[in-house]
Amino acid sequence: MKKYFFFLFSLFVIAETALAQNIVRHKIAVFAPLYLDSAFSYSGDYAFNKTFPRFLNAGAEFYQGVQASLDSLQKKGAPLEVFIYDSRSATTTLAQQLKARELDSVEMIIAHTNPTETKLLADVALAKKIPFISATLPNDAGVTANPYFVVLNTSLQGHIEGIYKMLQKNYALDRIILCRKPGQQEDAIKSHFTELARNTVSVPLNIKFVDVGDDFSARLLAAQMDSTKRNIIISGSMEESFGAKLASTLAPLTKSYPILLVGMPTWDNVNFGRTEFKGLDIVYSAPFFYNRLTPLESRLATDFEKTISSRPTDMYFRGYETMMRFALLLLDTNKDVASNLTRKGNAIFTKFDIQPVFKDKKNMTLDYFENKNLYFIRVSGGAKRLM
């Protein structure tokens, strides 16, 4: 564990104080929850002995991915100056960090943040008229009327839009049932589906909404299905536990009913290879898909394992591609990056489809930009593959 954090701390210092040559460099600020003050004493001793608290993982790996991309860009001579900030510093608040003098000339912000931090950074980006790339938070944090704010991790509404279009394209003639339970987020999911049916330019889907609650049975689900048709069952909740129970309850019914279970992006964390899910075909949406099979992903994973002695999570690849993709866009557009946020190209792993979001469609006020690209992952027999 000491090896990991010594490496992390060394890179942190190098990235923050890198010496610039006598050329004009584009400046980027990166914020991530590194918890360096909590992990190290003033003398540099690691605070957690031989343990590695899980809360440190996500920010540390996101940073490692950012640093790996910067190493590659530096080798190519990219004129960049990048400032790294620990958004969970115990000695300096995020608000204090945002007053740093070097931020006056920063041209882009990239961050791994929570909702409160996201809102604060979005306000700063708007005031400075520079893009803020929110790499991890899957919602808008209440931001409106901010054309400099970019949500990469597709929002719930974006997922529902993508699921609806996928169902229209592939399963419009099947029996479609949305199973839900009481809840504010569950109400939002139902509302999104209902609004899409009302506003679609194509034939709206005939979706039956069924309130099954938390304690439902196979008999209750079977009563809603048709043995002569394919039954598309949509999980109307983001809760992993609800999705897992729905899947395990439906699996035995596949002997009598053709079933496809459609899930939510949170399902990427569920192990559908377990025996209770046997026989059930599952599809769920995800804005990112790292299969580790491309040459670049394989090389990055190998380099990470050699340095850290563990396998990287998806957050490592997220940090790498976010920095690489948007640093290249900044270099390509030469300070006009805000006008080119929807531009295609420079795809690293994800083919981002960044589109404007208008909450008030009557006044057509641009609220922010969002990545609308979704992958649909099919799980059959525990194995995952893209649709």
Quick one: 58 and 203 in the same domain?
Answer: no
C-alpha to C-alpha distance for 50 and 198, rounded to whole angstroms: 57
Contact 341, 150 (CB under 8 A): yes
Single out the residue of 208, 209, 212, 247 nearest to residue 229, CA to CA. 208
Transcribe 323-350 into DSSP letters: HHHHHHHHHHHTT-GGGGTT-----SSS
pLDDT, average across residues 181-195:
96
Quick one: 40 and 121 in the same domain?
Answer: yes
Query: Would you say residue 163 lies in a domain?
Result: yes
Query: Would you say residue 114 lies in a domain?
Result: yes
C-alpha to C-alpha distance for 221 and 215, rounded to whole angstroms: 11
**17-26, 151-160, 161-170, 284-293: which range is least confident on average?**
17-26
Q: CA angle at residue 46 from 44 to 50, to 5 degrees?
A: 155
Looking at residue 360, its pLDDT comes to: 77
Asked if residue 278 has pLDDT above 80, the reply is yes
Contact 221, 215 (CB under 8 A): no
Looking at residue 41, its pLDDT comes to: 44
Task: Name the packing angle between helices 314-333 and 57-75 (round to 10°).
Answer: 40
Quick one: 149 and 162 in the same domain?
Answer: no
pLDDT, average across residues 192-218:
95
Chain-wide mean pLDDT for the chain?
89
Which of helix, strand or coil describes residue 36? helix
Residue 332's pLDDT band, with cuts at 50, 70 and 90, is very high
Asked if residue 133 has pLDDT above 90, the reply is yes
Contact 241, 181 (CB under 8 A): no
Query: Would you say residue 368 lies in a domain?
Result: no
pTM for the full predicted model:
0.89
pLDDT, average across residues 87-113:
93
Helix (H) or strand (E) holding 62: helix 57-75
Quick one: 7 and 148 in the same domain?
Answer: yes
Quick one: 116 and 21 in the same domain?
Answer: yes
Asked if residue 59 has pLDDT above 80, the reply is yes
Looking at residue 233, its pLDDT comes to: 98
**53-57, 261-265, 305-309, 344-348: which range is least confident on average?**
53-57
**32-36, 143-147, 261-265, 371-375: which range is least confident on average?**
32-36
Asked if residue 1 has pLDDT above 50, the reply is no
Output the six-digit token pair for 185: 């987020």
Quick one: 203 and 170 in the same domain?
Answer: yes
Q: CA angle at residue 217 from 216 to 220, to 5 degrees?
A: 90
CATH number of the domain bearing residue 213: 3.40.50.2300
Looking at residue 33, its pLDDT comes to: 94
Looking at residue 8, its pLDDT comes to: 45
Which of helix, strand or coil describes residue 117? helix
Residue 236's pLDDT band, with cuts at 50, 70 and 90, is very high
Output the six-digit token pair for 153: 């991790």
Tell me the backbone φ, ψ of residue 248, rounded to 5 degrees. Answer: -70, -30
Query: Would you say residue 20 lies in a domain?
Result: yes
Domain housing 225: 156-286+376-386
Asked if residue 231 has pLDDT above 80, the reply is yes
| Burial category of 306 from C-beta neighbours within 10 Å (exposed 0-12, middle 13-18, buried 19 and up) | exposed
pLDDT, average across residues 187-206:
95
Quick: pLDDT tens for 240-267: 999 999 999 999 999 999 999 999 999 9
Contact 237, 210 (CB under 8 A): no
Query: Would you say residue 362 lies in a domain?
Result: no
Query: Would you say residue 307 lies in a domain?
Result: yes
Query: Would you say residue 361 lies in a domain?
Result: no
Neighbours of 91 (CB within 10 A): 8
> 194 or 22: whose pLDDT is higher?
194
Quick one: 322 and 230 in the same domain?
Answer: no
Contact 85, 30 (CB under 8 A): yes
Number of domains in the chain: 2
> 6 or 299: whose pLDDT is higher?
299
Asked if residue 219 has pLDDT above 50, the reply is yes
Quick one: 85 and 145 in the same domain?
Answer: yes
Quick one: 214 and 330 in the same domain?
Answer: no
Asked if residue 21 has pLDDT above 60, the reply is no
Question: In sequence order, what are the beta bridge partners of 85?
Answer: 31
Residue 222's pLDDT band, with cuts at 50, 70 and 90, is very high
Looking at residue 258, its pLDDT comes to: 97
C-alpha to C-alpha distance for 160 and 165, rounded to whole angstroms: 9
Asked if residue 223 has pLDDT above 90, the reply is yes
Query: Would you say residue 136 lies in a domain?
Result: yes
Quick one: 229 and 250 in the same domain?
Answer: yes
Looking at residue 141, its pLDDT comes to: 96
Quick one: 239 and 381 in the same domain?
Answer: yes
Amino acid at 244: A
Asked if residue 160 has pLDDT above 80, the reply is yes
Quick one: 14 and 91 in the same domain?
Answer: yes
Looking at residue 238, its pLDDT comes to: 95
